Structure 1
Amino acid sequence: MKKTLWLKNELVLPYAEFVKQVKDFCWRNTSDQELKEQLRFCSLQAVSLGTAKLYSILKEIVFRCMGITLFDSQLAAAYSMQCGRIAELPTGEGKTLAAVLAAIFFALQGKSVHILVFNDYLAKRDCISNQSIFNFCGLSSSYIDQTTKSPERKKAYGCNIVYLSAKEAGFDFLRDFLCTKKEDLLFPGFQVAIVDEADSILIDESRIPLVLAGDAPKSQTHAVHIHNAVSTLSQKDISIEKSKNQVWLTDLGIAHVEQFLHLENLYSEENANILGMVSAALEARLLLKKDKDYIVKDNAIQVIDESTGRVAVNRKFPDLLHHAVEVKEQITGESCTMVYNSMTLQSFLLQYKILCGMTGTIYSSAKELKSMYGLEADVIPPHIPCIRIDHEDEIFNNKKGKIKAIVSEIQRAYEKGQPVLLGTQSVEESEEYSELLTAQNIPHSIINARNDEREAEIISRAGEPYRITVSTNMAGRGVDIKLGGKDEERKDFVRTVGGLYVLSTGINRSIRIDNQLRGRAGRQGDPGESKFFISMEDSLLTTYFSDNELIEIQNNVNIYNKKRLSKLVRRVQKREEGKDAEARYMLERYAYILEQQRNLIASYRTEILLEELELTTFQEQEPDIYQKYVETAGKRGVKCAENQLTLYYINQHWADFLMTMENVRNGIHLMIIGGKSPLDEYHRISIAAFDEMIEDIKKDVISSMKKYKITSDGIDMEEAGLSGATTTWTYMIDESNSQFRRIPQLMKTVSNTINGTVFTLQQIFSKFKKK
């Protein structure tokens, strides 16, 4: 890792010598045509592309197109990305333009560049705002969002530079797995990815797998009956461990459920699916909270992203859990989920030949970044030192005292005209504070998952005088907050009253996310303030400390000095950061074998789709029938039919395989009881299942070749009832590593009240494979 250099307590600009060389060139008196010729000359000299001369030309082009003179920090950040690193550049320093320079550098070498941003709004905004620069350089550019149709997507991917969210790119790659015609393929390949908001995408979102799913029929009856069974449970029937986000049945609870559902043994093999539905109903009722984990909108369950407070568009909980939440909220779902393909965002990004990026907060996670991606980070100081005042944490015994203090602080700031951005922990909390401010006659705006379509507009005005903005976590990220808003005359007034004041209703699970919130104030040398208000009753602390420990701290809060108490609280946050890092590490280990298998099956499928692989299984195993078909349909028709069926059955069996492995992984911790390694057993089962899947594909292809009519054009798949998925979406998988800490739960669950033996994973595996 590159060492951070300090001189007289100030951070030294990395690549300062290179930046100096860039500034030694002057193109101000050069015509546009001459400037383009100089750029073309540089682009032809591949070895010299990284020279200061190229950057000096690009700097001049930016000035002519945008009227902006690039800061030294932007030039250094662009060069850092060009070197394949992650540049940490403070909020307001112009990371977007720094990415433009790096993108042009790569595109001039003939590489396809994907600029992966945080959301659709930023993809469209950044592409449109920088298009004149790309056009000047003779490069094509476009953007993709969720509304972009397939023809437009293919055209966009054909551009030199394309802006889109990381997830959107990942899902396009997964959707190609469902294509049955090579002309329908979308994703162009992995050349260069420049990741904006790199900490969120590379680290926070890396533990949420990209899952492509579609409809499959389901019955509502079982879920409702099981929901009713769970709803009648008493406190004695359930054990909850908040710190691990777990809930399970006690012996009394098991007996109650078995009696209610008329089961002899809830834990027998034939009741495996019912047990899964009971677990999902327990989690939906006792762990997932409305307006925190999800909202009900347009008669549907909409999942809230925990790191942003936004609705995660097209995301669902895992099938059984999502269905359980629908039943809990009395929403009638028409279908359940069938997983067609899945991969982690990390696995997707690692396929790019060149991966680099930028963010405002990454260095505190530099070790994890290096471990997960092999990437180094550079800290780029702001062009003007930050003068924001970061106040010490305010810690209270209870939430009531914290809430009163926050409202009082907002009132004080409002009276003098200082704009306030209040970061809350959930939709529910944001609305609670909104009601309190309304009661105090304090005008304000609110951004949460219920009105996130207006978040860019609302957050852009958050720096206006007397403006109070209540927001869930990091809503509006990527949108600059300018003091005074669009009116420069009001900027001086806001500066004199202290600049933007960022308040938070609690600390987040990661110090990086806290720093992201702080970074909304104090941009480009502007004044600003930040303060975090913490209650000992906040969920982050109540899940860490026992009730007795909390009471002791609350009773002796005066004994602790402010700094000591703050260190204690921040130590809890550090522990949660460690747990999340461990979860990402566990996901990586479990995803590794599946990712290798996905690569194998995807490569096999692509070779068939592109007709690069000659299938001979049918000819070898059924030579007489093969010859008969050739006489009536021709070799081309028989080959087309075998290709069609192989592609179809690859999709069907891969979906079954993923379902099997998800169920295996959800219960893999049972192996601990037998003294076995869960990870080793998971790998062993996945390898056996994959080999069996390949054989099953071949068997089904041969059987169907005999069954369906084959013509010179192959098989009419729709007429044969073998059409693929028509609707797809994504859902969220909880990748918490808590499944490996369930020994106390297992010892309580596996008790004398259970008749017979707890089902084994091999039995579950066999059961699902027979379906």
Structure 2
Amino acid sequence: MGVTFRLKNTFRRFLERPGTTVDLRPFEKLLPEIEARGEELADLSDEELTELAGQAKELVEICALGREAGWRALGERAYDVQVLGVLALLGKTVAEMATGEGKTLAAAIAAYGHVVRGFGPVHVITVNDYLARRDAGWMEPVYKLLGLTVGYVTGLSTPAERREAYKQDVTYVSVSEAGFDYLRDQLATDIDDRIQAELGTAIVDEADSILIDEARVPMVLAGTIANEQDPVHTAAALVRALRPKRDYEITDDGRSAAFTSEGLARLEKVLGDIDLYDTEHIAQLSALNVALHAEALLERDVDYIVRNQTVELVDEMRGRVAHRRRWPDGLHAAVEAKEGLNATAEGEVLGTITVQAYVMLYPNLAGMTATAVHVGDELREYYSLEVAVIPSNTPCVREDEEDHIYATNAERDEALIEVIREHHEAGRPVLIGTLDVSASQILHKGLTDAGVPCVVLNAKNDDEEAAIIAEAGTYGAVTVSTQMAGRGVDIRLGGSDQSDRERVAELGGLYVIGSGRHNSRRVDDQLRGRAGRQGDPGGSIFFVSLEDDLVRHHAADSLPAWPKMKFGGLVDDERVTAAVEHAQRVAEGVNHEIHRNTWRYSVVIEQQRKALAERRERLLTTEVAAEMLKARCPEKADEIEDDSLLELGRAIALFHLDRLWAEHLAELAEVREGVHLRALGRVDPLDEFHRSAVPAFNRLIPEIEERTVATFEEMDLDEGWAPERAELIRPSATWTYLVNDNPFGSELDRLISMVGRTMKSRG
């Protein structure tokens, strides 16, 4: 591929996409040197190559060795554009590489480069366990030739397996498992019990998804506490008897709901003529509001599925089950109550960290994805990361058609099924992306009734995803999927064995259809990008309805009253097309603001967590606890051997630090939950949150010392020391989960909106 074409391609993609991107010209100048060095390496034995790999430090040498190792180990020689991707990752940027352009090999070479340059160990952060396991096994021969070791961690890994995996030069691990392991290490009472090695470099796969879409998701380590009666089930039964519009109202954007004055009066009467706004009944009011949101705003087979008598959340961006994820503040229990299930305990929060805060712990950070430029400003704002747009190896010849917009869902679905049927009968493979599980099931029924066989991939069968996606390019195949972002498997024309490649290519290649626009253009681009990989022929189109949530919530005011129409409900009006595009930009802007607003509240908690983590590290690795006891209780401290005092002091101090941090997190949760009420007094909620959070933390350190000294003084050392006798009992069991990003926007915004409307209706 010539340099002229590369520059033209880069320039074209730069013009097509917003935002500032990294200048690739310095990297492109290295390509001839890398090529020349690669020719010299071809004559080396494997042993000689491995020996050289351990000595490399310069970019040219690293890229040439990595390319040669990939060729020998996998039969895959990295293209020039993949090498540009490697250089971008070594330059600590986010590389935007189109689907099918070889990000996995590029990441492996870059990981090797970071290790030999002294920035290891390297964690390749993935979106799920499947990709962590697959990519580690796939790239292991490459790493072996380069003299490196590789491991992986999944949710099924034992502590010993995790510890061993993190000892390797490169570790593949999902972002949630890495975060959970970090949280567990923050409760370790012995250095040898730690799981993770020191954090060096993170290469984040699907960087836009992890760094932006999941950034504000808290990862939680919880401990067993006594089960208390859940008030949400009672509230759910009361709310279920209410009628929409009369007893409660849902906002136009579908993000919040509130009781009307009539609805509140009805509830207060049923509860014994109480005043729900009286201080003693505030817990009941909170439970009723949570139950209302579960009943009115969360939809089965859209936001969650019910499987094996449990509620499983559906990841909006990926259309798959979000394992070990919960909604916060009793909302999850409310959904369980809505579905007639027993409530599962949330437990006492022992430690928490957001995805964004965890990733920022790595001294060196880079990422890769097919869709980064649209979130370039956010990557720059939150992570100081720039985006490098890597050109495709061969020109993309995919034909992207204009959206087909219909007046109603029924008309859209009828036209959609007819188009699928026509392409299927011609033998052209079709991939349809739906917005949720419910839509995929409705489409499946419609296609079945029309005599079109299809395979469905959604949150209910995502374990089969690799096999389903691999065959989506087979002659005559029809595949329905809830989103394609993060699926991680290429669709090859003619099926996985490409036996019918030419026949499918002659028909136009894979035809991708989106049955509705997503709230994010990036998700639509991920779906579209499944066709036309590596210069393959392909096509894409989106079928949109004016009844879609995106249009109703964000474009209702900008739609013309009488749009121009064609036969069958097809809209032929540029004003409508512009309104749909505008709606998507508005939705992206809303999500950006939610991210920013949520992060503002997380900043102070993260600062406090870091400060406490540093203190905990000193307690765990130095003699500071024993020295404190000697200073505060010299006579009693002299009764014990120094080694015993060190062990005893450390155990007591760590227990109280962890205990008080858990109490502090619970206090902050209460502050956060109640701060919206103070906002009604026209004060800044963030200032109010800080006024409570900062002094509470300042009291924490002295309290740790006071409790440590008090426990030590009360102990009877004549009978020997044991944690049980000192009542230093830690939770008997711990578990991890993710708090799902609130589906209605920021919790604070939602509650302010809800209370504001409720107070207005009562007045």
Both structures adopt the same fold (TM-score exceeding 0.5): yes
Q: Please name the residue that 1:757 is paired with.
A: none
For 2:188, the aligned partner's letter is C
Q: What residue is the counterpart of 2:731 in the other structure?
A: 724
Pairing partner for 2:185 from 176, 182, 189: 176
2:102 pairs with 85, 94, 108, which one?
A: 94
- Secondary structure class of the residue paired with 2:214: helix
Q: Structure 1 residues 451, 638: CA separation in 2 closer, same or farther (over 3 Å shift)? A: same
Tell me the equivalent position of 1:34: 48
Give the equivalent residue in structure 2 for 1:197: 206
Deviates more, 1:268-277 or 1:124-133: 268-277
In the alignment, is residue 107 of structure 1 matched against residue 115 of structure 2? yes
How big is the shift at 1:741?
Answer: 6.8
Q: CA deviation at 1:400?
A: 0.2
The answer on whether the counterparts of 1:717 and 1:723 sit within 8 Å (CA) in structure 2 is no
Matched positions, count: 740
2:427 equivalent in structure 1: 417
Residue 594 of structure 1 pairs with residue 605 of structure 2 = yes
Cα deviation, residue 389, structure 1: 0.7
Match among 601, 606, 621 for residue 617 of structure 2? 606
Q: 1:225 aligns with which of 214, 234, 252?
A: 234
Query: CA 1:708–1:234 in 2, change beyond 3 Å: closer, same or farther?
Result: farther
Would the aligned equivalents of 2:433 and 2:480 in 1 still touch at CA under 8 Å? yes
Does the 8 A contact of 2:554 with 2:586 survive in 1?
A: no
Aligned partner of 1:142 in structure 2 is 151
How far off is 1:314 after superposition? 0.9
Query: Offset of 1:379 from its aligned partner?
Result: 0.8
> Partner of 2:21 in structure 1?
none
Offset at residue 742 of structure 1 (A): 6.2
Give the secondary structure class of the aligned counterpart of 2:700. Answer: helix
For 2:722, the equivalent position in structure 1 comes to: 715
Distance 2:716 2:470 in 1: 62
After superposition, the Cα gap between the structure-2 partners of 1:332 and 1:86, relative to the gap in structure 1 and judged at 3 Å, is: same
TM-score, length of structure 1 as denominator length: 0.91
Change (3 A) 1:461 1:744: closer
Q: Which runs of 5+ in 1 are unaligned?
A: 755-771
1:54 aligns to 2:66 (yes or no): no
Of 689-698 and 612-621, more deviation after overlay is shown by: 612-621
Structure 1 residue matching 2:298: 3-state secondary structure: coil
**Cα shift at 1:210:** 1.9
Residue 699 of structure 1: how far off its partner (Å) = 4.0
Match of 2:19 in 1: none
Q: Which residue of 2 aligns with 1:768?
A: none
Deviates more, 1:322-331 or 1:391-400: 322-331
1:431 aligned partner: 441
TM-score, reference length from structure 2: 0.92
Query: Aligned residue for 1:759?
Result: none
Deviation at 1:130, TM superposition (A): 0.9
After TM superposition, the structure 1 stretch with the greater mean CA deviation from structure 2, 441-450 or 556-565, is: 556-565
1:644 and 2:651 aligned: yes
Evaluate the alpha carbon distance shift between residue 420 and residue 738 of structure 1 in structure 2; reply closer, same or farther with a 3 A threshold. Answer: same
Query: Is 1:390 aligned to 2:405, yes or no?
Result: no
Q: Deviations over 1:189-245 (max 9, x none)?
A: 221111111111111111222222233333346332222222222332212114151
1:769 counterpart residue number: none
Q: Distance in 2 between matches of 1:713 and 1:161?
A: 45
Q: Deviations over 1:2-32 (max 9, x none)?
A: xx96479756964221112211231323332
Q: What letter corresponds to residue 171 of structure 2 in structure 1?
A: V
Q: Quote the residue 1:570 is aligned against.
A: 581
Range 102-111 or range 140-149, more displaced = 102-111
Relative to structure 1, is the Cα distance of residues 128 and 602 closer, same or farther in structure 2, using a 3 angstrom cutoff? same
Output the amino acid matched with 2:406.
F
Q: Where in structure 2 are there 5+ consecutive unaligned residues? A: 1-5, 15-23
What is the distance in 2 between the residues matched to 1:672 and 1:719? 44
Which of the numbers 128, 131, 134 marks the counterpart of 1:122? Answer: 131
Q: Distance in 1 between matches of 2:626 and 2:589?
A: 49
User: Contact (CA 8 Å) 2:405, 2:570: kept in 1 or not?
Assistant: no
RMSD: 2.6
Per the alignment, residue 697 of structure 1 pairs with 704
Q: Compared with structure 1, are the counterparts of its residues 278 and 18 closer, same or farther at alpha carbon in structure 2 (3 Å cutoff)?
A: same
Of stretches 169-178 and 75-84 in structure 1, the one that deviates more from structure 2 is: 169-178
Checking the alignment, whether the CA contact within 8 Å between 1:258 and 1:265 is kept in structure 2 is yes
Q: Distance in 1 between matches of 2:539 and 2:151?
A: 38
Is the Cα–Cα contact under 8 Å of residues 406 and 571 in structure 2 kept in the other structure?
Answer: no
Instruction: Specify which of 15, 20, 39 is matched with residue 32 of structure 2.
Output: 20
CA-CA distance at 1:79 after TM superposition: 0.6
Indicate if the aligned counterparts of 2:453 and 2:478 stay in contact, CA closer than 8 A: yes
Q: CA, structure 1 residues 449+8, in 2 after alignment: closer, same or farther (shift >3 Å)?
A: closer
Q: How far did residue 669 of structure 1 move? A: 2.9
Q: CA deviation at 1:723?
A: 2.4
SS at match of 2:224: strand
Moved more, 317-326 or 491-500: 317-326
* Residue 749 of structure 1: aligned partner: 758
- Change in Cα spacing, 1:53 to 1:723, as seen in structure 2 (3 Å) is closer
Where in structure 2 are the equivalents of 1:83-482 lying within 5 Å? 83-110=91-118, 111-220=120-229, 222-235=231-244, 236-243=246-253, 245-262=255-272, 264-333=274-343, 335-474=345-484, 477-482=487-492
Alignment of 1:629-668 (within 5 A): 630-631=638-639, 633-668=640-675
1:682 aligns with 689
